[in-house]
């Protein structure tokens, strides 16, 4: 499943870049994220509670950041598994200057399997988009905090 989108965050690009690579900021912004801890340089272990329709559960997984070109772009690989199945994906994130701050664009390719895949592609796409919107809105709020 391919997903893409863009959001504007009203903060300078360097500040947005720093926040997007800060495990504590990410933990606060990622919907359902209970834990995000560094296990190596640019590699993190994550625990998330996710629910799609009647399928809910906890995922344990890893996040790895590669190809960093500060403060313009990076790639992120995600893999996780839990009771509801598994998720694997890779995303390219690009930051650029915007009228009121920073434009963050992303393209991702995500594979899901197990029970969670049974809810259907349409619903998964909608939930994924909703979670992305929640993440960017929350990150915007965190960056506005003094």
Structural domain for 43, as ranges:
2-144
CATH assignment of the domain containing 123: 3.30.530.20
Task: Give the torsion through C-alpha atoms of 81, 48, 8, 123, to 10 deg.
Answer: 60
At 25-50, the pLDDT tens digits run 999 999 899 999 999 999 999 999 98
What is the pTM (predicted TM-score) of this model? 0.89
At 56-115, the pLDDT tens digits run 889 999 999 999 999 999 999 999 999 889 989 999 999 999 999 999 999 999 898 888
Furthest CA-CA distance within the chain: 44
Contact 108, 91 (CB under 8 A): yes
Give the pLDDT of residue 129: 83
The count of structural domains within the chain is: 1
pLDDT grade for 145, boundaries at 50, 70 and 90: confident
Give the pLDDT of residue 96: 98
């Amino acid at each position: 499943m391919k997903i893409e989108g863009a959001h504007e965050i009203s903060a300078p690009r360097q500040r947005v870049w720093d926040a997007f690579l800060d495990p504590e900021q990410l933990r606060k912004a990622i919907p359902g994220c209970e834990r995000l801890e560094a296990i190596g340089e640019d590699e993190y272990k994550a625990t998330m509670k996710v629910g799609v329709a009647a399928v809910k559960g906890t995922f344990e997984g890893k996040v790895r950041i590669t190809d960093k070109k500060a403060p313009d772009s990076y790639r992120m690989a995600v893999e996780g598994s839990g009771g509801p199945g598994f998720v694997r994906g890779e995303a390219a994130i690009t930051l650029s200057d915007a009228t009121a701050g920073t434009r963050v664009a992303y393209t991702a390719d995500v594979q899901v399997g197990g029970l969670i895949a049974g809810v259907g592609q349409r619903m998964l796409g909608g939930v994924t988009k909703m979670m992305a919107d929640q993440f960017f809105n929350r990150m915007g709020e965190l960056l506005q905090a003094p």
